[in-house]
Chain A
Amino acid sequence: MNLFDKIHNYQLVARLDEAGLYPVTSHEKAWLAMMLAHPAAAHFFAADTLQKLQQLTATHERSADQASFVEKAGASTKQVWHPLIRKLRRIILGKNHILVHSATRKGPAFRKQRGVPYKLEYSLVKKDWYLIWLTVDSNQLLTTPLSLIQSIKEIYIEDEWYDSFLPVIAGKLAARKKSAKILVVRRYNNELQRILYAFSCFDKDVAYDPDTHEYTITLRFLQDEQEFILSRLRFLGLRVKVVENDQLKKRMAESAANALARYVPPLH
């Protein structure tokens, strides 16, 4: 299989797009056939849709190429799919409100909480689905795991009303943005690639000082991503040092002190 096929040439794709033509190659159908064989596939579709898709891709045999990938150090997948996805994505498409019954991690539950559903988010680290939504009464932007939601009811509203909440949500997200500067400790410069890969799932800039050969990574993230950033920083250990963001510095110091306290008596 050559992924750089001329059918994907950008000028050709743009030209066909103007004409509303979307040619599907047998490689793509083979990929689809392979994905339809995934145990979660049946949940995504109504039975007759699934059957139609299976028939459409039946002649495109499972490519033997994929059998040879071995995946390591991944998390066992909890769920690629959740029963609420179909319903919620259609409510978002229809620009409607929701009435939510949900538990929370800390205990207290929401009952009949009215909200604006914004996006469904999948975390590739936790392998879990979340609903990002704005509560209408208290104007809070929440991220609720779908697994905690007991029921969702759709409330039909005008599109304009739904759209009027979007700037509010954007404002709340912008207010949550944080940044931090992380220095790659010079003696680990030969591991630079690995370190940059570890941060490749974040929004970042890198600065390089040719005189000192020091690299500084500026990470931009949302407040609720801080715990994952901390876990990445601990993951890299001595290779990196937080140089700007007092909260992260404080948490790293605490973490190191508490971890060290597990190992008594001290070395010296």
Chain B
Amino acid sequence: MAREGFDKEMQLLRLMFLTAGAYNRQQLAQRLGISVHTLDKTVKKLKEIQSTIYQYVTDEEKKGYYTQLRYNHFAVTDNFLMFLYHAKSLKESEVERLSRLLEQLSQQPCSTKELLDCFLSTPTGEVPDEKTLRQDLKYLEELGVIQKSGEARPFVYSFAQDLWNCLTEDELLDLHDFIDIMANTQLPAVPGYFLRHKTQRFLDRRLQREDWQAFLFKYHFVSRILDEQQALILAAAITKQQMVEFCYFTPKRSKFYDSQNTNPAFQRDSSGKPQNVYPLRVIFDHQYGRWYLLAQESENGPLKKYRVEGMTQLALGKQAHPDAFARMRERVDKQIQTSWLIDTGDPVTIRLRFFHPKHTPHSFIKERVEAQGQWGSITEETRDNFVYEITVNGTQEITPWIRSFGSSCEVLAPAFLRRQFQKEWEELLAYYESV
């Protein structure tokens, strides 16, 4: 059986989230490279997962094709896209077996035989064979969800509830808040969101109410978690110094995915491009909330830059030679040392004059420059303005940031950038002069 992949669900959710209602079903299916039938099936499945996990989905929202899969920025404090990570499918009998197993172990520690007896003593449901049960126990133990004790057979298993049992209600509240804040502000976040959901549900029961959430997170790039699975695989490959293989769709294409035909007789050429590279650095860009991979095909080859969201069918490849890998790593680190994001072009020194805001003692401009200006520094300062200087690879990536300050910033050098800004402001003014 083919391994269950989630590329399609990931690409669909991303496309629906970003383009929020722009496309009809045919247009969506076309952009995803799948049939409308497959699209409908996938949407149905995602909606089912979402309403199972989050009970706040209203009946009204369930009716609309899009409404349920839309994010309510003003009211919801959960990361709305997290439900994707609950998509792994499981046979009904396995859900039954695993939940009964855990329920039993949460009541009292048991040996394999005692567990089998429990299944036998309740006439409903199937009784698993001993081999299956042993496999389940091994899986749960490796996952850290249950613990095995005893020196020799028969081993006794117990449900690991230490986190819940050893903390008071007040401490659990601190723990919940800590997890909530860290998952929303740090990378990676997905394991944190899993943990947050559990702590929250546990506390809902303890406090016997559900209206105790106190935090809101503003300007959150919630979709960043869609790439976390890939980013973690890449990070693991880097640690293990292994190559990676994937099929790449550049972001400028209109297609984001292609259906996977498991029957080789029907396989067609994918429009994505197969890649086989040494992964060197995984980069998160806070400006847009996107992930990149920097990689090389061979030690002497050029540096390649990929957007993680364009990768499908990501898999680990062969082992790299440690020395060669270290040399590549060292080189890429040097190259991105002065990249605003990932530009590895020639360094250029940029000088900017920022103007303090008028009529207020609080210079939010300076505050912002200090917070977001990366390694640049303030070289001169007067009562109404200050000069900031940074040496950065190319001017392209820093330009939007400079522009975002509007008339509070003037480009002093280099001259070509000054001319570029002058021209851009002229053109932008023309957009609005006619209105």
A interface list, Cβ under 8 A from B: 1-17, 19-32, 35, 38, 41, 44-46, 49, 52-53, 56, 60, 64-78, 80-81, 85-86, 88-90, 92-93, 105-107, 119-127, 132, 173, 190, 193-194, 196-198, 200-208, 210, 215, 220, 222, 225, 228, 230-232, 234-238, 241-242, 249, 252-253, 255-263, 266-267
Contacts and interface: CB of A to CB of B under 8 A. Distances in A.
Given A105-B360, A122-B185, A231-B406, 20 more contacts: A4-B6, A13-B86, A22-B201, A45-B171, A45-B174, A65-B239, A66-B235, A69-B187, A71-B283, A72-B284, A78-B371, A88-B214, A120-B216, A121-B216, A122-B216, A200-B289, A237-B403, A241-B431, A259-B407, A262-B410
Contact of B426 (A60, A173, A230, A260): A260
B208 interface: no
Contacts of B285: 72-73
Nearest to B206: A20
Contacts of A194: 251, 288
Contacts of B289: 197, 200-201
A64 to B, nearest CB: 5
Contacts of B219: 123-125, 201, 228
B131 interface: no
Nearest to B329: A68
Nearest to A217: B20
A132 B238 CA distance: 43
A198 to B, nearest CB: 6
Contact of A53 (B175, B214, B409): B175
A9 B88 contact: yes
Contacts of B435: 249, 253
B287 interface: yes
A98 to B, nearest CB: 13
B118 interface: no
B282 A60 contact: no
B17 interface: yes
Nearest to B4: A4
A255 B215 contact: no
A24 B145 contact: yes
Nearest to B21: A205
B384 to A, nearest CB: 13
Contacts of A27: 144, 191
Nearest to A252: B432
A232 B308 CA distance: 23
B143 A258 contact: no
B52 A10 contact: yes
A183 to B, nearest CB: 10
B201 A4 contact: no
9 contacts: A12-B90, A29-B144, A73-B286, A73-B287, A73-B401, A119-B214, A132-B216, A235-B401, A238-B424
B348 interface: no
Contacts of B182: 35, 38, 80
Contact of B429 (A10, A106, A256): A256
Contacts of A215: 22
B155 interface: no
B374 interface: yes
Nearest to A85: B177
A122 B184 contact: yes
Contacts of B20: 204-206
B18 A196 contact: yes
Contact of B371 (A75, A231, A261, A262): A75
Contacts of A190: 252
A215 B18 CA distance: 12
A203 B221 contact: no
Contact of A1 (B232, B340, B401): B232
Given A27-B191, A80-B181, A200 B218 contact: no
A202 B187 CA distance: 21
B341 interface: yes
Contact of B143 (A26, A56, A72, A253): A26
A72 B424 contact: no
Contacts of A235: 400-401, 403-404
Contact of B404 (A7, A31, A231): A231
B56 interface: no
A232 B360 contact: no
B231 A69 contact: yes
A52 B86 contact: no
Contact of B406 (A52, A173, A258): A258
A9 B95 contact: yes
A68 B360 CA distance: 42
A28 B205 CA distance: 21
Which of A23, A80, A126, A255 counts the most B-chain CB atoms under 10 A from its CB?
A: A23
Nearest to B332: A70
Given A10-B87, A72-B340, A119-B214, A237 B422 contact: no
A1 B421 CA distance: 46
B27 interface: yes
Contacts of A3: 85, 190-191, 228-229, 232
A209 to B, nearest CB: 10
Given A29-B144, A68-B282, A89-B177, A263 B410 contact: yes
